[in-house]
Structure 1
Amino acid sequence: MDENKLEEKGIVSQMEFDGSIMKVKKDEVELPDGSRSKREIVEHPGGVTILPITPAGNISLIEQYRYAAGEVLLELPAGRLEPGEDPEECGRRELKEETGYIAENLEHLFSFYTTPGYSTECLHLFLAENLQKGEQELDEGEFVRMAEVEPDKIKDLVFSGRIKDSKTAVGLLAFLQLQD
């Protein structure tokens, strides 16, 4: 075995589930030492997370019931990429839909995998500034409540467990890093 080689090589792939939001496949892979193993992969189109800074300098969040978690979560606005959609366009669309805000400035900060052990989902984090308030344009079946957080409350919200959503924790902690 080449001690520097870490890549796995796909041998066989079988689609197990093809849904409207994601697909699940089961792959057989060859490991760096030549042995074989199985991988179950959730294929997801990816999405965006938006860090909206209000004119008052607070962060605009939403509260949304998440069925899989079984509770209302405090989250940054976010959404799934449509096929062929540019992440910045998606960010502007989702910001308007969920908060009503239109951003004069939308800056891509970085991209990250949510759960790379089994999912292809990659999120693009955007900082949204110079916001103009308009009307929310929620998708059918989408129910959210607006919330705002003062920057000095971020650490407590994240480390007390009030923020349980990973994309929100990543985005808020990135915001604090930008302030240093």
Structure 2
Amino acid sequence: MSTEKSIRTLESREVYRNHWMRLREDRIERSNGVEGIYSVVDKDDCAVIIPIDGDDVYLIEQFRYTIQERCMEFPQGGWETPDVDAEELARGELREETGLVAETMIRLGMIWIAYGFTKQRQFVYLATGLRFEQTDPDPEEHDLELKKVKIADLEQMLLDGTIEDCSTMAAWGLYRLWKERQA
């Protein structure tokens, strides 16, 4: 894959910031000489965790304000802290959202979330050897519901559109590829 940059940043300015994100507007020049504007949402790293217990997997159901719907997805999130250790983040998010503690965490990979407009990495972890402790949700996570489903049911939900979260879909794809190569 080429590392050649076909867009050059001429100027950058921050137009908005809050605890979770920063929005910047960059004046750019494309390799064909045409100038333009590119808006970028900068967010700190996050993690998505696949908690598997035998033939079951744990999902979170929560209200997602941006689309005004309750959604099913793997536990995921970030700490709004730069340069956090990815496994520590994954373990923390798992416990925070589900109350689960994993004996084993296996890093399956890393994905960029919607890199057409946002700069945010998401680390994908498989969590096994699970035991329950106490949850510790953020105020924004007041409505989380933990769901334990059969793996076959998870895959049906991915196929029939019950689960539409791209991070959950991508994480499950990485897991299936990883598992296939373990045999």
TM norm. shorter chain > 0.5: yes
Name the TM-score, length of structure 1 as normaliser: 0.90
Alignment match, 2:163: 163
- For 1:170 and 1:14, the matched residues in 2 are separated by 32
Name 2:78's counterpart in structure 1. Answer: 80
Q: Secondary structure at the match of 1:39?
A: strand
Structure 1 residues without counterparts, runs of 5 or longer: none
Deviations 1:85-119 (A, max 9, x none): 11111111111111111111111111111111110
Structure 1 residue 5: deviation in Å?
Answer: 4.4
Taking structure 1 as reference, are residues 14 and 141 closer, same or farther at Cα in structure 2, changes over 3 Å only? Answer: closer
Alignment of structure 1 residues 1-180 onto 2, 5 Å: 5-54=4-53, 56-81=54-79, 82-142=81-141, 143-180=143-180
Q: Which moved more, 1:39-48 or 1:132-141?
A: 132-141
Give 1 or 2: higher helix fraction. 2
- Per-residue deviation at 1:34? 2.6
Across the aligned residues of Structure 1 and Structure 2, the Cα RMSD in angstroms comes to: 1.6
Q: Secondary structure at the match of 1:33?
A: coil
Q: Which runs of 5+ in 2 are unaligned?
A: none
Alpha-carbon distance change, 111 to 78 in structure 1, aligned in 2, over 3 angstroms: same
> Percent identity among equivalent residues?
25
One-letter code aligned to 2:16: F
- Counting matched residue pairs gives 176
Aligned equivalents of 1:26, 1:67: Cα separation in 2? 24
Query: Which amino acid is 1:86 matched to?
Result: D
Corresponding residue SS for 1:162: coil
SS of the residue 2:41 aligns to = strand
Counterpart code for 1:87: A
**Alpha-carbon distance, 1:135 to partner:** 1.7
TM-superposition CA deviations, 1:155-179 (whole Å, max 9, x none): 3211211001111111223333334
